[in-house]
Amino acid sequence: MLAGIDTNVLIDVRLLGMEPILARVLEGEGWTTAFVDREFEDPLGETGGFVGRLFPFLEIDPVDARLLPRIERDQIAITGRQRAAAGGAAGEASLVHVALMARPGSIILSNDSHAVGLGRRYGLSVRGTLFLMHRAFAAGLTSSEEAWENYEALKSRGRRPPALTSSQLDFYLRTGQDPRR
């Protein structure tokens, strides 16, 4: 699965200890950007961040300098000039533009509403952590019970997965379709 991965999904994966599952689901086609690498901090505090240390199976795209004006334009549109100057939304915008220009066919894995909106504006598929659970379930790497435990663990750690019942999550795992629609 060709996928660009945002900080928030990497944090969820790290908190759940799902690094090996992520590697298998991505099948060597996962990537992120240097912007995401810079903003990532290990939520477990075991390393000084660095996506490459914790997720050695992800390629870190350095981001072609010709994309920087587009990234900055979208950062400003998302967060305003001041926050964009401080790096706000750089990870999300960089993922979208690298996917469009350098990695066609990629989906974006992000739970961030800015990434979802920006990705949709450019015609990209943006999915989140639950999509990884769906793909892991479909590949036989996790059960629905383990997925529910992981879902509950995310909530208990202050993460904000979509509000689902156990049966709704089970439906999503089996189909990849939002049960609330």
Does 74 share its domain with 136? no
pLDDT, tens digit, 9 for 90 and up, residues 105-126: 999 999 988 889 999 999 999 9
Phi, psi of 32 (to 5 degrees): -145, -175
The span from the CA of 16 to the CA of 4, in Å, is: 19
pLDDT at residue 85, rounded to an integer: 64
Does 147 share its domain with 114? no
Contact by Cβ (8 Å): 151, 15: no
Does 73 share its domain with 92? yes
pLDDT tier for residue 131 given thresholds of 50, 70 and 90:
very high
- Angle, CA of 65, 49 and 160, to the nearest 5°: 95
Q: Give a yes or no: residue 55 inside a domain.
A: yes
Phi-psi region for residue 80, left (φ > 0), alpha (ψ -120 to 50) or beta? Answer: left
The span from the CA of 92 to the CA of 4, in Å, is: 10
Full-model pTM = 0.90
Q: Give a yes or no: residue 103 inside a domain.
A: yes
High-pLDDT (> 90) share of the chain, %: 59
Does 92 share its domain with 141? no
pLDDT at 100 over 70: yes
- Which of 10-19, 66-75, 123-132, 151-160 shows the lowest mean pLDDT across its residues? 66-75
- Provide the number of structural domains found in the chain: 2
Please count the residues of the chain: 181
The contacts found for 138-142 with CB under 8 angstroms, 24 or more apart, are 138/173, 138/176, 139/24, 139/25, 141/21, 141/24, 141/25, 142/21
Instruction: Tell me the residue range of the domain where 166 lies.
Output: 130-175
Q: What is the CATH number of the domain that holds 50?
A: 3.40.50.1010
Does 141 share its domain with 84? no
Does 40 share its domain with 100? yes
| DSSP-derived pairing of the beta strands 126-127 and 30-33 | unpaired
pLDDT at 9 over 80: yes
